[in-house]
Structure 1
Amino acid sequence: MAQTNRSRVAVAGASGRMGHMLIEALTHADDCVLAGAMDQPSSPAIGNDAAAFLGTASGVPVSADVKAALANAQVLIDFTRPEGTMKHVAACRERGVKMVIGTTGFTEAQKAQIADAARDIAIVMAPNMSVGVNVTMKLLEMAAKALSTGYDIEIIEAHHRHKVDAPSGTALKMGEVIAQALGRDLKKHGVFGRHGDTGERDAMSIGFSAIRGGDVVGDHTVLFAGTGERIEITHKAASRATYAQGSLRAVRFLADKKNGLFDMFDVLGLK
């Protein structure tokens, strides 16, 4: 496939762990090409070739200049922090660059700003880009509807020691999917950790527990605990490569989209 027909993709946080996975995936894709790379001014990778860590040359330098990184891009993939992502949203909106957003930890106000930007550009935003995780979400929706009474629901997630937000965006999304299937409000019924004399468990509650340690990429288990039985639905990520491949599927999905806010259920046809 000629390079001119490939989707031109920029990567935010290019020198981070996820950035490296995305760049590696792009170097092996036959329908996408790395067209820009950005990182914070303090990154030691600034000015270096974005693919240098692979022992190859992409011809794309890592830049601290957002405008320069987006100059040749059609889509930006962003797995950074909310503050940085919001700046990138504004820059992409101004330049008509589409976005795939895997960043987590947004406030409701920030989510509203992203939704507003989607009036002008096409955005896929999901707390987890893994194909397997999103299929798991669909299974949770089905399970919640079938186990709507008589089962207590707990969501347990584990991540590496460097993760700064808890519960994970994926765990929260799982809770939202379950709550919606049950007709509950997660803001009202979500219980985020327990300590001390908590009293008897409210049957309507959806519990969350977060574990942080080591280099765990991401484990999520949803427990449906009934009388005499327990059902556990678990997804374990062994590598960030799964997030990178899901992100490229999102890029392909956006190819014919002019504007709108989408998620991975849209990308995978699970709605």
Structure 2
Amino acid sequence: MIKIGVLGAGGRMGQAIIAEVQAAPDCWLAGGVERPGHPMCGNIIGEGLVICANAAPVAHKADVLIDFTTPAALDEHLRAAQDGKAAILIGTTGLEPHHHAAIDAAARTIPVLQAANTALGVSLLAALVEQAARALDTGWDIEISELHHRHKVDAPSGTALFLGEAAAKGRGAPLETLRLPPHESSPGARRAGGIGFASLRGGSAAGDHHVLLAGEGERITLSHVAESRDIFASGAVKAARWLSGRKPGRYRMADIFGI
């Protein structure tokens, strides 16, 4: 039985993950955590379990923590995981370089999987984008567009940046070098070989991502459409199963699916 603690238990993703854990015969919900003052703190989520405001006690009961919260909470959650000797899956997006440095440090003592997206299809899409970018020369322009619900804060999405990194890897350069500024702020001809991004927000869209490779006289579009948030919850629980009992280190969703 894999004991899973859910960080961000009051959010839409947290609630979906809790439901997935409770429906899985091989998983047990170790607890749920929210930020202090969150309206869901104190809510019952299982027999003898309420959403609390402290990750440390949950980390000591869990084999794996699943974190879909905010970048500001990451350091605390990594410390709790290390103190409780729990593995941690980080699905939080909008991370900065210092967050990744903290993840690298934690991965020296516990298993850590950081994922921009926990859906199987996105891992496969990234592999296809990298392959296509490697096969096509810089005469093919790359544009990545994404649509998310009106409540999403970061833009471009973490998944869009993940796909951009895959395209940049295929082109043999860092994304920081190839990323184009927003087209409306950079008038003039498009820089050859660059990678552009566009973000749309509205309604309840769970996540649409499209990678356009546009050449002279022809275009290729590679896409992934999330029809429900449940696919991310299912992928996160599958990743937690895989991560439980692993050696310390930093892992990717692609490691789970063998991509």
TM-score interval, normalised by the smaller of the two chains: over 0.9
Residue identity opposite 1:8 in structure 2: K
Of 60-69 and 121-130, the range deviating more from structure 2 = 60-69
Distance 1:143 1:227, change over 3 A: same
Distance in 2 between the 1:99 and 1:107 partners? 18
Equivalent residue number for residue 182 of structure 1:
171
Does residue 1:225 correspond to 2:189, yes or no? no
Equivalent residue number for residue 196 of structure 2:
207
Q: Percent identity?
A: 43
Distance in 2 between the 1:147 and 1:243 partners? 31
Does residue 1:236 correspond to 2:225, yes or no? yes
How do residues 112-131 of structure 1 correspond to structure 2 at under 5 angstroms? 112-131=101-120
Distance in 2 between the 1:128 and 1:195 partners? 28
Name the SS for the 1:265 alignment partner.
Answer: helix
Q: Deviations over 1:216-266 (max 9, x none)?
A: 111100000011111101111111111111111211211231200001011
Q: How much does 1:148 deviate?
A: 2.8
Equivalent residue number for residue 53 of structure 2:
64
How do residues 10-89 of structure 1 correspond to structure 2 at under 5 angstroms? 10-50=5-45, 57-89=46-78
Distance in 1 between the 2:223 and 2:185 partners? 28
Residue identity opposite 1:60 in structure 2: L
Equivalent residue number for residue 180 of structure 2:
191
Give the RMSD, CA atoms, in angstroms: 1.3
How do residues 252-267 of structure 1 correspond to structure 2 at under 5 angstroms? 252-267=241-256
Of 120, 138, 150, which aligns to 2:139? 150
Equivalent residue number for residue 269 of structure 1:
258
Distance in 2 between the 1:59 and 1:141 partners? 47
Of 93-102 and 141-150, the range deviating more from structure 2 = 141-150
CA contact 1:34–1:58 (8 Å) conserved in 2: no
Distance in 2 between the 1:246 and 1:166 partners? 22
Distance in 1 between the 2:129 and 2:186 partners? 30
Q: Deviations over 1:93-133 (max 9, x none)?
A: 12211101000111101101111100000011111011111
Q: How much does 1:185 deviate?
A: 2.1
Q: How much does 1:196 deviate?
A: 5.1
Equivalent residue number for residue 3 of structure 1:
none
Name the SS for the 2:184 alignment partner.
Answer: coil
Residue identity opposite 1:39 in structure 2: E
TM-score by length of 1: 0.92
Q: Deviations over 1:138-188 (max 9, x none)?
A: 111121122234211000011111111111010001010110111122112
Q: How many residues align?
A: 259
4+ residue segments displaced more than 6 Å: none
Equivalent residue number for residue 136 of structure 1:
125
TM-score by length of 2: 0.96
Unaligned stretches of 5+ residues in structure 2: none
Q: How much does 1:74 deviate?
A: 1.1
Unaligned stretches of 5+ residues in structure 1: 1-5, 51-56
